[in-house]
Amino acid sequence: MSDYLMQYNGWYYYFRRVPKDLSAYDSRRHIKISLKTKDRATARKRAVVQNEAVEKYWRELLASPDTAKQGRDSLYRKAVTTARLHGFAYRDISDLSENASAAELVDRLLALREAEEKQPEKSQQLQTALLGTADIPKTMLGEAWEIYRPRCADRLLGKTEHQIRKWENPRKLAIENFIEVIGDKPVAEVTRKDVLHFQEWWLRRVTQEGRKPATANKNIGYVKDIVEMVCNVTDVVPDTEITALFAKVKLREGDDSRKSYEADYVQKVFLNSNALDGLNEEARALIYIMADTGARVSEITGLLPEDIRLDTDIPFIHIRNNARGTLKTAQSDRQIPLVGSALYGIKMFPQGLERYASGDTASNVINKFLRENNLSPSEGQSLYSLRHTFKDRLRDIQAPEEVIDNLMGHKSRGPKYGRGHILETKLEWLNKIAFQAPEV
């Protein structure tokens, strides 16, 4: 096979044009993915992996729709495109006969006659497009997931199986919930009333079952994303625009922020006592690392040996995309100097933590231990609270917000200039808040 490589400014990219016979399924003209290397041999290996993922994506696209239905949908899409090429929006014949003005009907007939004179061999296709006689696809909500999921494969490139499941499950559940509430019906016939009914259903769950408003809002947002993509893919125009369908359909969220630990509590209980002796060594090390880096649990469990640098003047960890998974956001890619308890924890496992396949597993184990041993003195505290404690401590010493955002892996609120903060600058601030390493 071709290596599908291109080089720009020394960096290699996977580059492949979408084959013409797949253009009906994949609207992109070409695919370009950074391979994050300047070494050609490494780039070739990574390109093979990317190419396998892309071809798997295309195979899923081809296998997902029923062949006969795909044919009908293709005719409809062709009619929509042809109408647009001649300056008209596609309108079904019933809509034209009932709602179109006499002037529009005359314009369409004149355009049809002119087009037929130029392309007599396409007379039937032109009539279908300009007079609205194509069968409008009736894609049901029950079919939405099978259409939506394959077309999201590019969003999941590089993610682990666990990360893919975490992405899939809430979205699949959302459309299932929507169907449970309003019934299975054509996607194009979803109404504002249906969406409001779904909002009311979630409101009852929040008020009567104790579900969180944030969960409801995510669920509604996933339904909007699925319905919007299915309409775009099938060229179906709903009676009401998607934005209007879901406008202001949101539950009010209260203060659901996680509580942080007091710094003194972390030092005295987690670091200077035997309170964590019941945890395995890797779990304890994770707590130590998190306390003085503020890194997410999944970022710590995802570190590979090459991401841990203890051989430099300033020891640090590099949180980045790697074979264990991709990061939550682009700005999550960062280097964090190791000080205090974090340096101690990393030295316990200089090759990285290998016991837990995912951050979720580690979180569940540690949070269960914290609950059972009364190590969360305030309601709402959990392992993740250490991340908030880290941020609070930086703010307490008036560290610049840009430094805090960089260390936390957050998007900076101001304009971005230059290369960001170097290790020396970050080390200066971290040394001011570093915990004392656990007593042996």
Q: DSSP of 174-242, one letter per residue?
A: HHHHHHHHH-S-BGGG--HHHHHHHHHHHHHHHHHH---HHHHHHHHHHHHHHHHHHHHHHT---SS-H
Cα distances (Å, whole numbers) of residue 201 to 178, 219, 436: 9, 12, 50
* CATH number listed for the domain at residues 263-433: 1.10.443.10
pTM exceeds 0.75, yes or no: no
Tens of pLDDT, residue by residue over 167-180, are 999 999 999 999 99
| Mean pLDDT calculated for residue range 29-49 | 87
Q: What 3-state class would DSSP assign to 352?
A: coil
Q: What's the pLDDT score for residue 256?
A: 54
Tens of pLDDT, residue by residue over 115-168, are 999 888 888 888 888 998 887 767 899 999 999 999 998 888 878 888 899 999
Scan for tokens 């979180």, then name that residue: 363
Scan for tokens 């944030």, then name that residue: 214
Cα distances (Å, whole numbers) of residue 188 to 67, 89, 133, 224, 242: 21, 17, 17, 13, 10
Q: What's the pLDDT score for residue 193?
A: 94
Q: What 3-state class would DSSP assign to 40?
A: helix
Q: What 3-state class would DSSP assign to 58?
A: helix
Q: Which of 210, 217, 143, 151 is nearest to 175 (CA)?
A: 143
Q: State the chain's mean pLDDT as an integer.
A: 87
> How many whole angstroms separate alpha carbon 394 and alpha carbon 409?
14
> How many whole angstroms separate alpha carbon 127 and alpha carbon 112?
7
Tens of pLDDT, residue by residue over 217-268, are 999 999 999 999 998 887 676 767 888 889 988 888 765 556 899 999 999 9
